[in-house]
């Protein structure tokens, strides 16, 4: 914690410096902010259960020209201003069609992103983080070449690991292909064999699926060696995209029991 910001100001400074350098790349979204996390930091830190959701990197849709989600000019002024802009995200103009895919899972955990995402009050306020890079790209991460991703990943991974130690999450929830995660950290190499928290062999209409929908749970180590509970669900275009709302809520409820045991 530093004067003017709740988290280490050096973390934000690292993000801002990283963006300044990354702007030389033609696939980095112009007039953008680095986004180490999305959400109300103060409420997250005060939550009984600290929940992070995770993806790969921010979408270019976080910076629409017609309806800004951030005051970019203000956020680039320094650590305190960047933290303020990140914390206001869900109360201003969130990318609702994407983040709403995670919200039922959070609700099962008695949590929510809050702001315009919350249908009612919940005990805990979640944040969203991106594991590979805090920099928005166009095209999206999966459509970048390995060489392009490599120009962002080394610093992006370091920022995520630093952030994880700062935020001390109770659990991190993702819905990513294991191929992405296995490349990211050796802790994930056994991920395909992690314990199955939930498994669905049929679609919502009752038809059998070629491969079951899974929610798996395991642990990774933070930079400081702290164990981090990590949950990963079968991937789709959106988080938990092939799960019904009811199944998402049930996954969150089951996970809540696991965090309490």
pTM over 0.75: yes
Cα–Cα separations (whole angstroms), residue 57 to 49, 133, 137, 176: 24, 5, 8, 12
Per-residue pLDDT of the chain (261 residues; tens, 9 = 90+): 445 899 999 999 999 999 999 999 999 999 999 999 999 999 999 999 999 999 999 999 999 988 889 999 999 999 999 999 999 999 999 999 999 999 999 999 999 999 999 888 899 999 999 999 999 999 999 999 999 999 999 999 999 999 999 999 999 999 999 988 887 778 898 999 999 999 999 988 889 999 999 999 999 999 899 999 999 999 999 999 999 999 999 999 999 998 887
Helix (H, G, I), strand (E, B) or coil at 216: strand
The per-residue pLDDT for 3 is 56
The per-residue pLDDT for 150 is 94
Residue 141 region by backbone torsions, left for phi larger than 0, else alpha for psi between -120 and 50, else beta: alpha
For residue 65, report the phi and psi dihedrals to the nearest 5 degrees: -70, -30
Both tokens of 36, joined, read 């180490």
d(CA 79, CA 70): 15
Helix (H, G, I), strand (E, B) or coil at 76: coil
Residues 26-57 as b/e (b if ≥16 CB within 10 A, e otherwise) read ebbbeebbbbbbbbbbebbbebebbbbbbbbb
Both tokens of 81, joined, read 């201003």
163: closest CA among 226, 241, 88?
A: 226
The per-residue pLDDT for 201 is 95
Both tokens of 82, joined, read 């960047």
Given CA atoms 134, 131, 179, 103 in this order, what sign does their dihedral have? Answer: negative
The per-residue pLDDT for 206 is 86
The per-residue pLDDT for 2 is 47
Note the pLDDT tens digit of each residue in 96-148: 999 999 999 999 999 999 999 988 889 999 999 999 999 999 999 999 999 99
């Amino acid at each position: 914690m530093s004067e003017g910001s709740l988290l280490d100001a050096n973390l934000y400074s690292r993000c801002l410096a990283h963006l300044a350098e990354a702007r030389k790349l033609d696939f980095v979204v112009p007039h953008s902010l680095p986004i180490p996390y999305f959400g109300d930091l103060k409420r997250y830190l005060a939550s009984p259960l600290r929940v992070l959701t995770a993806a790969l990197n921010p979408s270019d849709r976080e910076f629409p020209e017609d309806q800004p989600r951030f005051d970019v000019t203000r956020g680039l002024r320094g650590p305190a201003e960047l933290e303020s802009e990140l914390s206001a995200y869900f109360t201003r103009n969130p990318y609702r069609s994407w983040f709403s895919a995670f919200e039922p899972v959070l609700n099962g955990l008695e949590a929510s992103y809050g702001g315009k995402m919350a249908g009612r009050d919940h005990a805990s306020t979640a944040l969203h983080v991106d594991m590979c890079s805090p920099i928005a790209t166009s095209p999206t991460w999966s459509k970048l070449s390995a060489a392009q991703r490599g120009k962002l990943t080394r610093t992006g991974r370091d920022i995520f690991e630093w952030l994880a130690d700062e935020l001390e999450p109770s659990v991190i929830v993702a819905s990513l292909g294991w191929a992405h995660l296995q490349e990211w950290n050796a802790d994930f190499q056994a991920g395909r064999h992690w314990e199955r928290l939930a498994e669905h062999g049929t679609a919502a209409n009752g038809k059998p699926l070629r491969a079951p929908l899974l929610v798996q749970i395991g642990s990774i180590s933070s930079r400081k060696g702290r164990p981090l509970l990590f949950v990963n669900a079968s991937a789709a275009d959106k988080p938990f995209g092939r799960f019904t709302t009811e199944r998402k809520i049930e996954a969150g409820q089951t996970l809540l029991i696991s965090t309490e045991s």
